[in-house]
Structure 1
Amino acid sequence: MDVIVNISLLVAQSIIMFSLGLGLEISDFKRVLERKRVVGIALTAQVMVLPLLAYLTVHLFSFSPAFAAGLMILSFCPGGVTSNIISKLAKGDVALSVSLTAVTSILAFVSVPFLVSLSLTHFLGDALNEYSFSEIALVTFLITTTPVSLGVIFRHFKTSIAVKIETGLERLAYVLWTIIVLGAVASSAENVMTNFSQVVMGLFFLPIVMTCFGLILGRMSNLTRTESKTLAIEASIQNSPMALTLTVLISGVSTGLPDLALPAAVYSLTMYAVAFPSVILLRRWGDESKQTPGFDPTADSPAG
């Protein structure tokens, strides 16, 4: 798991983000300006509240320094295409989900390097291989901002081709990604099994609490039910491929899965274990014909 795996991680993540860009249009960015309040609330939950809850999680569940830093890095990585798919399955506001993905994917170049460096310094200090801020920024730019921007540009100028290849490219990326993750976990099976119990409860706790928080925040902010459940999904789903790519490259480990990457790898399982039951529960929670105050996620509605 040396140079070849590192390059494979970069390529897989770049393909995933490029396919995400292919699904975005200029109108998705314009929509952000049209829905400033809703987007502002969602970004607050995703960019500010989630990392704060992640910080609380590592202390509540006594994560080791490496696992703590790994979870913090995961919390900085925006949801990506996965949150769009889950929002669609849950009958959420897909346009809002896509708009948030567009913004956070571009902003990642600004926010992620600084926050990652801060977390590495706080939790690991000198215990980690030297990895400069500029290198983190470069990697983030290469695996997020650049491929997403290229995808949007390609979609704009070659729309018909983009529509044809979008689904196939996305599937290719995830097949490649699955093979790489399974290979990495298999090569470190003993380490994963030994430390699984230490991180698994925290990695269930984080998405469950953020899902509930998103629903409650949405209703307290007088958002519609559809907007509220989209907010809940966006706030609880993170880009584990991006987090795993960053943590493996930062660690510089030549064999096996580094401890820093373990939370992202385990989260790839716990995320879906939380997301799919949420989808089942939220699908029938549609928008009421008239807005009513309060939070009642179990209420039936004509639209549901």
Structure 2
Amino acid sequence: MRIDVLLPAALAFIMFSVGLALHAADFRQVFQAPRALLIGLCGQLVLVPLAALAVVLVFGLPPTLGIGLMILAACPGGASSGFLTHLARGDAALSLTLTVISSLAALGTFPLLVKLVLAWLGDAAFDTWAPAGGGVGQLTELPVGRLISSVLVVTTLPILTGMAIRHKAPRFTARSEPLIARMATLFFAAIVVATFVSHQDTIIANLLSIGPATLALNLLVMGGGYALVMRAGGARRDAVAVAMECGLQNAGLAIFVAIVLLRQPELAVAPVVYALTMNFGALGLVFVAWRLSGAGPALARRADSTASVKLP
């Protein structure tokens, strides 16, 4: 079976494991107290692009790498943010809500942001590179079906299935959740390894040139998202969710846009490298959250009465 089939299946299983630890009340709470949600959307739609622009300027990236990084910054949050938020004992319901809303919002914001980036960082040069049939105009042809299916099939449906099983069969959930959680953690590790293996030539060839910039962007947006929530008086678990959502971008969409829509594979270099380096910042936050909470991973324990455990 091909890797492009195995990876979504593995991610769907991971989201199912998160759903086993969620209640409908967790999502109601997100909308009843929407401050963290609004901050998260602001972070995803404003903070991330501005931070990427700052990184491009500070590191003096050439046009191809700079445009690629900005395309990535215009993408919505990645599906794995919900799993890593839960692993870090953050508010998984908030993270998943942010992923869904930002993915739908991207249908309108993504083409606009990318066109602005190309106009500012090198639209004229890009028009020279792009072959016939490709180019900026193709941005109106965003893969709507791909975005919606990734949100529904890979994220929403597995989450709802896990929540339904938890509600209908709580004893089964209590017995099986630790094993499923460990399997989900192994699947996530496999996804990270598969990401490297499938793009190893690109990553190895460009790690030194773009790696520091991608890592700096990841740490900057995660730290900024966390700080925004804490400065607004939010809970630490909300800050973890927003940090993860800002730091984990939908790199697959950026790669698709660069190669398929814009027909310029060089623009995919930054998203490919970021797809690997973003996991280091995310796993670092998981480790810090474990140390602050004085406990191990949330997914390694038996299912609790609530998915969100407050950190001290």
TM over 0.5: yes
Q: Is the CA contact (8 Å cut-off) linking 1:109 and 1:140 kept in structure 2?
A: yes
- Once the two structures are superposed, the pairs formed by residues 56-71 of structure 1 within 5 Å of their partners are 56-71=54-69
- 1:100 alignment counterpart: 94
Whole-angstrom CA distance in 2 between matches of 1:277 and 1:22: 22
The corresponding residue for 1:45 is: 43
CA contact (8 A) 1:208 1:274 kept: no
The answer on whether the counterparts of 2:225 and 2:243 sit within 8 Å (CA) in structure 1 is: yes
CA distance 1:30–1:9, change in 2 (3 Å): same
- What is aligned with 2:211? 200
Give aligned-pair identity as a percent: 16
What one-letter code is carried by the residue in structure 2 that aligns with 1:60? V
The correspondence of residues 149-298 of structure 1 with structure 2, limited to 5 A, is: 149-159=156-166, 160=169, 164=176, 166-167=180-181, 170-171=184-185, 173-186=187-200, 188=201, 191-224=202-235, 226=236, 229-230=239-240, 233-234=243-244, 236-239=246-249, 242-243=250-251, 245-250=252-257, 251-252=259-260, 258-259=268-269, 261-272=271-282, 274-275=284-285, 278-279=288-289, 282-283=292-293
Q: Distance in 1 between matches of 2:7 and 2:255?
A: 9
The whole-number CA distance in structure 2 between the counterparts of 1:69 and 1:17 is 31
* C-alpha displacement of 1:11: 3.9
Looking at structure 1, the residues matched to 194 and 218 of structure 2 have their Cα atoms a distance apart, in angstroms, of 24
Residue of structure 2 in register with 1:77 after alignment: 76
Q: CA deviation at 1:221?
A: 2.1
Runs of 5+ consecutive residues of structure 2 not aligned to the other structure: 295-310
Q: Deviation per CA, 1:107-145: give whole Å up to 9, x if none.
A: 143123434434544337553856664552211112223
On the 8 A contact 1:26/1:152 being kept in 2, the answer is no
Q: 2-side partners of 1:25 and 1:49: how far apart?
A: 30
Which amino acid in 1 is paired with 2:83? Answer: V
| Consecutive unaligned residues in structure 1, runs of 5 or more | 89-93, 285-302
CA RMSD of aligned residues (A): 3.8
**For residues 29 and 46 of structure 2, what CA distance do their matches in structure 1 show?**
22
Q: Quick check: 2:11–2:154 contact (8 Å CA) kept in 1?
A: no
1:103 shift after superposition: 1.0
Ranked by relative contact order (alpha carbons within 8 Å, sequence separation 6 or more), the top structure is 2
CA–CA distance in structure 2, aligned partners of residues 273 and 150 of structure 1: 25
Q: Whole-Å Cα distance in 1 between the matches of residues 69 and 149 of structure 2?
A: 22
In 2, Cα distance between the equivalents of 1:102 and 1:276? 17
Shift of 1:13: 4.2
Q: Is the 8 A contact 1:29 1:102 kept in 2?
A: no
Tell me the TM-score normalised to structure 2 length.
0.67
Partner of 2:298: none
Change in CA separation of 1:200 and 1:281 when aligned onto 2, cut-off 3 Å: farther
Match of 1:288 in 2: none
What SS does the aligned partner of 2:248 have? Answer: coil
The whole-number CA distance in structure 1 between the counterparts of 2:224 and 2:191 is: 30
TM-superposed deviation, 1:222: 3.1
The alpha-carbon distance between structure 1 residues 5 and 258, as it changes in their structure 2 partners (threshold 3 A), is farther
Aligned length: 268
CA shift, 1:168, in A, is 5.6
